[in-house]
Structure 1
Amino acid sequence: MRNGWVETTLGEISEVIGGGTPSTAIAEYWDGNIVWLTPTEITSQDGKVISDSIRKITDLGFRNSGAQMLPKDSVILTSRASVGYVALSGIDLCTNQGFQSLVPKESVLAKFLMFWIQQNRPEFESRSAGSTFKEISKSNVKSIKLSIPALPEQKRIVDLISSVDSYIEALQQQLESAKRSRNAVLHELLTAGRDDWEYKTLSDICEVRDGTHDSPKPSHEGFALVTSKNIKDGKLDLQSAYLISPQDYIEVNKRSKVEQFNLLISMIGTIGEVIVVEVEPNFAIKNVGLLKSTEPILSRYLCHYLGSQLGKNSISLSVSGSTQKFISLGKLRVLPILYPPRQNQKAIVDTMSFFDQQISKNLEVATRIKNLRSSLLSDLLSGEHEIPASYDKVMGAA
C-alpha cells in the first residue's frame, strides 16, 4: 500500500443510521412530501443519485416511524434481503428499516465510499445472517475494515471512475435507442400487411404443447430442467436451471421433447417471454409452452411476432389468474397470429436480424466497459496502483 493510505473502519469514517416505517393503518402518515425509500428502489438504481421515492410520508409519519433523516450526499446502503446495494441521496430523505446508511465524515468523500461499497459487496453479503432473509447489523457494518487515501487521491479516483460511468451511461442510452428503433421498425413491417396476409391461430401454424407439470427431484448431475424463469430478454439461462436425472429427463421428454428451431414461451409469472432454440437442445421443460416449428424462417418470424407489441397485446388478453398470472395451453393454442407469405416472413426476419446484430455488438461493448470499470476500480482501491499524472492533464484540458 502506498504512502498516504490509512486503515480504518466504516464506523470511524461515517455515522451509520438505520430507518423505520410508519404505521400503514394511519392514513395521516402517508402521501406527504418526505422521500422514504425501500430496498427495492435501490437495487434497481445501484450507484445512482436518488431524490425521489415511490411512496412518501408526512412529517407526522416521520416523527412516528423510527426513521432518521439522512442529509444530502449520504450513502444509502441496503442491509436486508438484497444486501450491499448503494446510492447517493440527492436531497435530505429517510428510509425504512431495510437500511444501514452512512453519513460520511470529513475524511472521506461520499462517492468514494459508495464506489468502495460497490466493489466490496461480497463482504457485506458474507456478514449477513438470518433464516427468512439475510440481514447485516449496524455493528457489523461499522466494524468493516477498509483503507482510504487522502482526499485529493480520493477525488482523482472518483473523477476517473465517474468518467467511465458517464461513458457506460451514454452506451446504455444508445442501446435503449437502438431497441426502440428496432421495435418501431418491426411494428411498421407488421402493420403494412397486404391482402394475402391472414390471421391464423397458433395451432393452425404448428403443434403447440407444454412441458411437464410434474416436479422431478433435483439431481447433482444430469440435464437442465427449464422453467419460465429461465427465459428472459430473448435468452435462455441454463445456468440457473436445476438438474434432473437422466431417467427423469427421458420421462419428461416423452411428453414434450424440445428440438432445434422449436420455440419456448413462458406461461407462468412473467408471461410471453419467447425464444427460438437455435442449437440442438439437451434440456427438458416444465410449465413452458413448446411450439413445434422446425422451419428456421417460420420459427424466427413467430418469435418476432410474439415479441412485438401486436403479439404482446394478444397474449395479455389471454392471461388468467389473480395471485399468479398464467396463460393456459388451450388459450395459447388459439392465440391469433398475423401470418404473411413466406417471402414476407423472410424479409421481416432478415431486417430484424440486422438490428439484433447491431444491438448485440453494442451490448458486448457495454459489457466489456463494465468489466473494465470493475477491474480498474479494484486496482485503484487496492492502494497499489497510482493514477498517472498525465490523467490530471487530460482532465484539466477537458
Structure 2
Amino acid sequence: MSYESWETVLLGELCSLTRGSSPTQKTLPGDYPLIVTGPEPLSSSEFQFDGEAVCVPMVSSTGHGHASLKRVHYASGRFAVANIVTACEVKNPAECGTRFLYIYLQHFKDDLIVPRMQGTANVSLSQRELAQVPVRLPRLGEQRRIVDLIGAVDEAIEVADEQCAASNRLLREYLEAYDFSQDKTLGELAMMRSGPSWKAADESSAAVPGGEPVLGITNTPQGRELDLTSQKYVTGVPANTMRVTPSSIIMIRTNGNRNRIGNVYRSSPGISGFAVSAFQIIIEPVDPADAALLYWALETPRIQRSISDAASGSTGLGNVAIGWLRQLQLPYPIGEERRIFIDTCEALLDAVQATDDVTRRLRNLRTELLSSLLSGAHRIPETYDELMGA
C-alpha cells in the first residue's frame, strides 16, 4: 500500500476527546496513575478511564507567550487524568491502534499540535483545535509493524540507559569510597578566578570587532560535558580576565540549584582563550600535570557536597566564595596511588561515555525510523509479521 493511499482522519473523528477531571495539586493520592503534563504520572485515589488513551497536555510546556509541547502520554488500564490534559480514546480499534496514534502524535507534535496553541501570556490548546489535528493512517497491519519495531528500539534504549546509569553509579561509588593517603588545599594546587559580569546587550551570537568568545551558564549543563552549541561573543572583556587554557577546569560558582554549585568541567581544545562569566570560575593548576587529578578530586561526591553546603544564600541564587575554595582540602595522592586512581576514573568514565553514545545512536535511529516509516518513504514488509509472532 502506497503512502498516497493512507487515510487522513481528523483526531476529533478518530477519537473521543475527554478533558481530565483531576486537579493536579488537589487530587488525593492512591492506587491509580494520574496522567499530568510532567514525564512521570502522579497517583489518584479514583480513576476516570478504563482502557487505552493518548493524553495530550492542553497548556504550553514553557508558557511566557511561547507555544511548546514536550510530550504526549500513552496510558492504559485504569487511570485518572489531570484537568489540563485531554484523553484521546480511539473510537474504532479496527481502524487505528492507540499505541500507533501515540507514536504518531508524539513524533509530529511540533508540526501538528503546537501550531494550534493560542494565547499571549498563557498559551493553551482548545479541544476544538485539537479535534482538527489530521492523522494519516496506514492499514492496521502496517500500524502494528511500526509499533512493534519502534517498541523493540525503545527496549534497546531502555537497556542502554540502564547500562549508562549503572556505569555512572559505579564511578560515583568508586569516588565516594576511595581512601586517600594525603590532602592539599586547592589554593596550594591552583589559581582561580571568576569571570567578569556583562549585560545581555553585550552578547552577540556572531564574532564582532572587539568581541571575545565566552562561556556562559548555558554552556555548563547538567553532566560532565560542556555544551558548545550556543556560542557567544562579548565586547569589553577586561584585559586582566583569566582565560581558559588546555589544563583549565571550569566550575559553576553561582546557581539557583545549590547542588549545581561546584560542578566541574574539563577544558577542550576548542575553548582555549575563552573567558567565563561571573557565574563560573576558572581553576588553573599551578602544575598542568595536576589537571586530571584536580578534576577527579573535585568530582568526588564528598567534595561536591562540601561545596554545595558552603554556598552562601538561603533563597534564590547561591554562591561559593573563592576564599573558601582556596582553603578546601582536596585528596592529593602521589606516585602509584595517583596513577591507579586516575586510570580507574578514566576507565569508568570511558564506560559511561560508551553506553551514553549507544543511547544517543539508538535515539537517533528511532527518530530516523519514524521519519521514514510515518512519511511512507519505506514500508516494513509483511514477512516481519513472522518475527512478531515469534
TM exceeding 0.5: yes
Q: How many residues align?
A: 366
Give the deviation of 1:205 after TM superposition. Answer: 1.8
- CA distance in structure 2 between the partners assigned to 1:79 and 1:333 by the alignment: 50
Q: Paired residue for 1:48?
A: none
Q: 1:142 to 1:318 in 2, by over 3 A?
A: same
The amino acid of 2:373's aligned partner reads L
Task: Tell me if the contact between 2:243 and 2:273 (Cα under 8 Å) persists in the aligned partners.
Answer: no
Q: Helix, strand or coil for the counterpart of 2:175?
A: helix
* Residue 265 of structure 2 is aligned to residue 275 of structure 1: yes
The amino acid of 2:294's aligned partner reads L
Question: Once structures 1 and 2 are overlaid, which stretch shifts more, 343-352 or 304-313?
Answer: 343-352
Of 223, 235, 247, 1:261 maps to 247
Superposition map of 1:81-120 within 5 A: 81-82=60-61, 83-106=69-92, 107-120=95-108
* Residue 275 of structure 2 is aligned to residue 284 of structure 1: yes
Question: Once structures 1 and 2 are overlaid, which stretch shifts more, 270-279 or 208-217?
Answer: 208-217
Superposition map of 1:87-236 within 5 A: 87-106=73-92, 107-123=95-111, 124-188=113-177, 190-191=178-179, 193-194=180-181, 197-198=182-183, 200-217=184-201, 218-222=203-207, 223-232=212-221, 233-236=223-226
- CA distance in structure 1 between the partners assigned to 2:133 and 2:79 by the alignment: 25
Q: Helix, strand or coil for the counterpart of 1:261?
A: coil
Give the deviation of 1:297 after TM superposition. Answer: 4.2
- CA distance in structure 1 between the partners assigned to 2:245 and 2:198 by the alignment: 21
Task: Tell me if the contact between 1:301 and 1:346 (Cα under 8 Å) persists in the aligned partners.
Answer: no
The amino acid of 1:283's aligned partner reads F
Give the deviation of 1:5 after TM superposition. Answer: 2.3
Q: Helix, strand or coil for the counterpart of 2:89?
A: strand
Q: 1:359 to 1:340 in 2, by over 3 A?
A: same
Of 32, 36, 39, 2:37 maps to 39
Task: Tell me if the contact between 2:35 and 2:55 (Cα under 8 Å) persists in the aligned partners.
Answer: no
The amino acid of 1:13's aligned partner reads L
Unaligned 5+ runs, structure 1 = 46-51, 60-67
The amino acid of 2:198's aligned partner reads D
Task: Tell me if the contact between 1:6 and 1:148 (Cα under 8 Å) persists in the aligned partners.
Answer: yes
Task: Tell me if the contact between 1:206 and 1:291 (Cα under 8 Å) persists in the aligned partners.
Answer: yes
Instruction: Give the percent of matched residue pairs that are identical in Structure 1 and Structure 2.
Output: 25
Q: Deviations over 1:95-142 (max 9, x none)?
A: 334323322222221110111012112212333333335433322221
The amino acid of 1:78's aligned partner reads P
Give the deviation of 1:144 after TM superposition. Answer: 1.3
Q: Paired residue for 2:227?
A: 237
- CA distance in structure 1 between the partners assigned to 2:304 and 2:175 by the alignment: 13
The amino acid of 1:288's aligned partner reads Q
Task: Tell me if the contact between 1:72 and 1:92 (Cα under 8 Å) persists in the aligned partners.
Answer: yes
Question: Once structures 1 and 2 are overlaid, which stretch shifts more, 230-239 or 86-95?
Answer: 86-95
Question: Once structures 1 and 2 are overlaid, which stretch shifts more, 31-40 or 255-264?
Answer: 31-40
Q: Deviations over 1:175-228 (max 9, x none)?
A: 21222222223334x32x23xx12x33222211211123325222423544233
* Residue 326 of structure 2 is aligned to residue 333 of structure 1: yes
Q: Paired residue for 1:65?
A: none
- CA distance in structure 1 between the partners assigned to 2:24 and 2:349 by the alignment: 48
Q: Helix, strand or coil for the counterpart of 2:383?
A: helix
Q: Deviations over 1:1-53 (max 9, x none)?
A: 347621111111112233356496xx8x644555434312x2xx5xxxxxx51
- Cα root mean square deviation, aligned: 2.7
* Residue 328 of structure 2 is aligned to residue 344 of structure 1: no
* Residue 339 of structure 2 is aligned to residue 355 of structure 1: no
- CA distance in structure 2 between the partners assigned to 1:315 and 1:340 by the alignment: 21
Q: 1:312 to 1:220 in 2, by over 3 A?
A: closer
Task: Tell me if the contact between 2:262 and 2:304 (Cα under 8 Å) persists in the aligned partners.
Answer: yes
Q: Helix, strand or coil for the counterpart of 1:92?
A: strand
Give the deviation of 1:170 after TM superposition. Answer: 1.2
